[in-house]
Amino acid sequence: MRKHSDVVVFAEYHEDHFHPITFELLSKGREIADLLKTKLIGVLIGYNVKDKASELFHYGAQKVVVFDDKRLALFDVILYKHLLVNFLKKEKPELVLMGATRLGRSLAPRVAAALNTGLTADCIDIQVDAKGDIIQVRPAFTGNIIAYIKTRTRPVMATVRYRVFKAKKLNRYGKGEIVVKSVRLPENTGIKVLRKERAKRIRISDAEVIVACGRGLKRREDIEMIEELARLLGGIVGASRPLVDEGWISRDHQVGFSGNVVRPRLYIACGISGSPQHLAGMRNSKIIIAINIDPSAPIFKVADYGIVGDLYEIIPKLIEEIKRRRKTCG
C-alpha cells in the first residue's frame, strides 16, 4: 500500500448545480494534498456533467474523474456506491472527503462499509500531524468535547459539515486532466424513484443575516419578536441548543457544533450566553452583535459590538428604529 497516495473529493452535483460544499472540500483537500505532496482528485457522478468538470480545477483539483450516464440523472445511492467503491479500490487513496449533506450522509457509510474502512462523520476540521498522519476533528458527546481521531484503516474517510471550510478560488489551478470513465451499472438496485417532493426546510448555513435567540427568552411566544427583527433585516432566526431541546423551535434553526455552522455577514445574538459549542458554530461571522444582560457573558469575547441590557427593552427599540428610518426614507 502506498504511504501517501491521492486525496479524493466527491463532487456533489445535484439538480444542475454543484452543492457549495464541493468547493469547500476541494479547497481543504488542496491544502492537505500539498502537505502530503500528492494529487487532489475530484469525482463527479451524474448525467450530462462532463462539461461541468472543469469548474473543479479552479478550486484546486488537478484531475477530475467523471461517470456520466442517463441512469445517474437521479441520485440512486446503490449506483453511486457501486461506481465509487470500484474506483476507490483501484485508486487506493489516502483520504476521501464527502459533504455531511443529506446525500453525503446516505452515500458515505455505504462506501466505507464496502471498503472495510472507518468513517468519521460530521467533521469540523481535517488536519495533518507532524508524522504526516491525517487527524479528523469532530464534536462528541453533543458538542461538549472535541475529538481528534486517527484512522488506522485506509482510505481515511470523512464527511465534513457545510460552511466549516472556506471555498478558495486558486488562479494557479485553471486546468487539469479530465478522465471520463466507462460506466457499468447493475441492472436492478432495488430502488425506484416514484416522484420528487421538495421539503420545506430552511438553510440557515446560507443566510447572510441571522438573529439568534437563547436562554434569555422567557416564553416560547417571544420568538415572534426575534422573527420580526430578522424579517426587517432580511434575515433568518437562529437559536441556541436549549431552545431546540425545549421544543420552542425546530432543529433547522440551531447554531453550534450540534446544529449548524454559519458564516453570515451579520449575526445578532439575543440572550445567548455563548457556550463553547455555540461560539464554534458562529464565531466566523463577519460582524457579531451581542445583546445580554450579563456583562461577563462569554459571547462578548467574540462580539464586534456588545450591548449590556435586557433584550426585552433593546429589541423592541431596534424594531421601532428600523421601521422609523424606513418610513422616513421611503
Q: What is the pLDDT of residues 196-244, one digit of tens each?
A: 777 667 789 999 999 999 999 999 999 999 999 999 999 999 999 999 9
- Torsion, Cα of 269, 258, 84, 80 (10° steps): -80
- Same domain assignment for residues 112 and 13: yes
Predicted pLDDT at 146: 87
Does 191 fall in a domain?
no
Predicted pLDDT at 142: 67
Residue 192: band (very low, low, confident or very high) from pLDDT cuts 50, 70, 90: confident
Q: Is the pLDDT of residue 27 over 60?
A: yes
- Same domain assignment for residues 231 and 144: no
- Same domain assignment for residues 119 and 212: no
- Same domain assignment for residues 171 and 81: yes
What is the phi/psi pair of residue 100, to 5°?
A: -85, 55
Q: Is the pLDDT of residue 133 over 90?
A: yes
Q: Is the pLDDT of residue 321 over 80?
A: yes
Grid coordinates of 33? 494534498
Distances (CA, A) of 315 to 49, 225, 241, 261: 48, 8, 21, 24
Does 34 fall in a domain?
yes
Residue 1: band (very low, low, confident or very high) from pLDDT cuts 50, 70, 90: very low
Domain count, the chain: 2
- Same domain assignment for residues 161 and 243: no
Q: Is the pLDDT of residue 330 over 70?
A: no
Predicted pLDDT at 323: 95
- Same domain assignment for residues 109 and 227: no
Give me the domain span that covers residue 284.
204-329
Q: Is the pLDDT of residue 179 over 90?
A: yes
Of 150, 181, 212, the last residue of a domain is: 181
Residue 193: band (very low, low, confident or very high) from pLDDT cuts 50, 70, 90: confident
- Same domain assignment for residues 172 and 214: no
Residues 266-285 pLDDT 10s: 999 999 999 988 998 999 99
- Of 184, 185, 181, 206, residue with least CA distance to 53: 181
Does 176 fall in a domain?
yes
Predicted pLDDT at 2: 46
Q: Quick check: pTM over 0.75?
A: yes
Residues 107-122 pLDDT 10s: 999 999 999 999 999 9
CATH number for the domain harbouring residue 140: 3.40.50.620
